[in-house]
Structure 1
Amino acid sequence: MSFPVPFPGDSSGSAPARLRTLLAGEGCLTMPCCFDALSARLIEQSGFALSFMSGFAVSAARLALPDTGLITVTEMLDQGRAICQAVAIPVIADGDTGHGNPANVRRSVTQFGLAGFAGVMIEDQAAPKRCGHTGVKEVVGRAEALARVRAAVDARDAGAGTLIMARTDARSALGLEEALWRLAAFADLGADLLFLEAPRDEAEMARCCRQVPGVHMANMLEGGLTPVLPPARLAELGYRIAAYPLTLLAVAVAAMREALAGLAAGQMPPHQTDFATLRVILGFDAYDRLLEDYAAP
């Protein structure tokens, strides 16, 4: 059974330290993205080494609203605390634009660290932001984009400890050259991970990793603007992480709609997780064993 743990600070067993260890390895890590504590636990129990709390998926699952900046940082933190307390694997937070000016960015990163996250993503979209594969038209200027990343790095170094993933959406808004310039500048400021959103083909993906040294993440969104490639090919191109932001949400929605259609037709859904397995996933047996330990004289 998983229990809440205090903010780990700089100890070697902290979530940021575990993430750094993973990133120091070889190949491309497959990172399914979660949207609540249950999806995060299923990711962990399936053997994956890390996860990412997708803002798109959280906005959908928690509010049934589009990823257009409607969800608040308070709601994201509340969801994030539950996620981080449910698993031991490192989880990266979607910090969106940092939720304001550089002072807001610093506080947001600090709060995500206190919630238990191993890393935080900060992007350069203009607020309100939107999903990067639904037509980003505007990013902030270079000065503001750099200030956001600098503030995030400062929060990390001041004690938050969380790794900083710097994301640019400039490919859609201003073109590839500007996007690559920004990624290089983010790396110079001390960002730990780099994320070019929505490259259009393998050539752009390869150029990004080749031209800008650092740890790169690829966003594998089914039906999005970027080609979905197998992890082995992503590793060849130079990527260290392959994120799957909507895979679990999409299959969950498909399964629930199928089940509801069956119930509407008077039929029990044929594909269900049995009750005994649900008990194990949620920790009922571990809970009972815990109480037995305290029952002994």
Structure 2
Amino acid sequence: MPSQAEKLRKLLDADKLHVMPCCFDALSAKLIEQSGFDLTFMSGFATSASRIGQPDLGLMSYGEVLDQVGNITNAVDFPLIADGDTGYGNAMNVRRTVTGFAKAGAAAVMIEDQVAPKRCGHTPGKAVVSRDEAFDRIRAANDARENGADILILARTDARHEHGLSEAIERAARFKELGADILFVEAPKTVAEMETVCRELPGPKMANIVEGGETPELSHRELEEIGFAIAAYPLTLMASAMKAMLTTLGQLKADAPRQSELMDFKEIRTRIGFSDYYEISSRYETSRRD
């Protein structure tokens, strides 16, 4: 059977856009897979909110993130890109992060050039490390892979915010030379900037579409025509779930009818996996009777 990294490489070989809803736990990843998408990304923003109830400001530890990666990869059978933030320390920490994520079953790991503790890419206060430190992170990630980690490297730069698009593109181009498989220039502010990113950088590029964020919300067709290989939607599912939960909580508090807002109990059980469990466990009825 091909590894998840091999599956992702094959997806990227196709000359098309891969729409990638982002997950935050095993259940959201299962729903994405059940809906027919090719891959997912474990959003740091959404995972921090759902796991520890805190903003994505570098508060989750490496161990917490690694545990969440393992929960997700154990629940699905399609490629997961994991958010490795800044690597959780120096270049040696980056190596450990990449190796750990590969062992946990992630198809790719994102490593970025922000100062630690990092911030969400569409919030104020971002800063990036020097070029040398940024390049060392990607070099270390590639070294971990050459040492046996079966994983792709998604290299992200947030340099656009402080230093402009040209600096971001120069950094990303060097990331590619150092072994990155996918390039991610965070938060271009115009369609023209998105076009420049795809025109000037080699290999697969990822667009990050945050509803209400800084990057234009283009259609899938427009993103594909510009040249992006992946369109990530990091908050779409979490924002939808939060709004639905608050609506239902308001109805419950007011003792108002709410059945129309709820998924049918039978469908809930099916999607979570009760039916699969019962089907498999039926093979062992004899041993249960014994």
Q: Which residue does the alignment assign to 2:279?
A: 289
Residue 194 of structure 2, aligned match among 195, 205, 209:
205
**Structure 1 position 150, deviation (Å):** 0.5
Q: Does residue 161 in structure 1 map to residue 150 in structure 2? A: yes
Alpha-carbon contact 1:27-1:232 (below 8 Å) kept = no
* Counterpart residue number, 1:234: 223
- How far apart in 1 are the matches of 2:126 and 2:55? 17
Deviation at 1:158, TM superposition (A): 1.2
**Consecutive unaligned residues in structure 2, runs of 5 or more:** none
Q: 2-side partners of 1:22 and 1:217: how far apart?
A: 13
What's the secondary structure of 1:93's corresponding residue? strand
Cα distance in 1 for residues equivalent to 2:162 and 2:73: 33
Q: Displacement of 1:296 after TM fit? A: 4.4
Q: Report the more deviating stretch, 188-197 or 127-136.
A: 127-136
Q: Secondary structure at the match of 1:287?
A: helix
The number of aligned residues is 286
Q: For residue 194 of structure 1, give the secondary structure of its aligned residue in structure 2.
A: strand
- Aligned match of 2:162 in 141, 158, 173? 173
Q: For residues 234 and 58 of structure 1, what CA distance do their matches in structure 2 show?
A: 26
In the alignment, does 2:64 pair up with 1:75? yes
Please say if residues 259 and 268 of structure 1, whose CA atoms lie closer than 8 Å, have aligned partners that are also in contact.
Answer: no
CA contact under 8 A between 1:209 and 1:237: conserved in structure 2? yes
2:210 corresponds in structure 1 to: 221
| Structure 1 match to 2:266 | 276
Number of the residue aligned with 1:63: 52
Residues 208, 215 of structure 2: 8 Å contact kept: yes
1:252 maps onto 2:241 in alignment: yes
**How far is 1:156 from its partner?**
1.4
CA distance in 2, matches of 1:235, 1:158: 34
Q: Deviations over 1:68-116 (max 9, x none)?
A: 1011111111111110110001000000000011100000000001111
Match of 1:33 in 2: 22
Structure 1: segments with no counterpart, 5+ residues: 1-11
Measured after TM superposition, the shift of residue 263 of structure 1 is 0.5
How far residue 136 of structure 1 moved from its aligned partner, in angstroms, is 4.1
SS at match of 1:39: helix
Check conservation: 1:136, 1:172, Cα contact below 8 A: no
Measure, in 2, the Cα distance between the counterparts of 1:236 and 1:132. Answer: 24
Contact 1:33–1:244 (CA<8 Å) still a contact in 2? yes
Moved over 2 A (4+): none
Aligned partner of 2:171: which letter? Answer: R
Q: Secondary structure at the match of 2:198?
A: helix
Between the two proteins, what is the percent identity of the paired residues? 55
Kindly indicate whether residue 142 of structure 2 is the aligned counterpart of residue 149 of structure 1: no
Residues 28 and 231 in structure 1, CA contact (< 8 A), matched pair in contact too: yes
3-state secondary structure, aligned to 2:78: coil
1:86 counterpart SS class: coil
User: Offset of 1:135 from its aligned partner?
Assistant: 2.0
User: In the aligned structure 1, how far is the partner of 2:166 from the partner of 2:89?
Assistant: 26
Shift of residue 48, structure 1, vs aligned partner: 0.3
Instruction: Out of 101-110 and 134-143, give the one that drifted further.
Output: 134-143
Is 1:134 aligned to 2:123, yes or no?
yes
Q: CA RMSD, aligned part only? A: 1.0
Contact 1:41 1:86 in 2 (8 A): yes
Q: Tell me if structure 2 keeps the 8 A contact 1:136–1:169.
A: no
With 35-44 and 12-21 compared, the bigger mean Cα shift is at: 12-21
SS of equivalent residue, structure 2 residue 74: helix
Residues of 1 paired with 2:128 and 2:162: CA distance?
7
Q: Note if contact 2:119-2:126 (Cα within 8 Å) is conserved in structure 1.
A: no
Q: Secondary structure at the match of 1:52?
A: strand
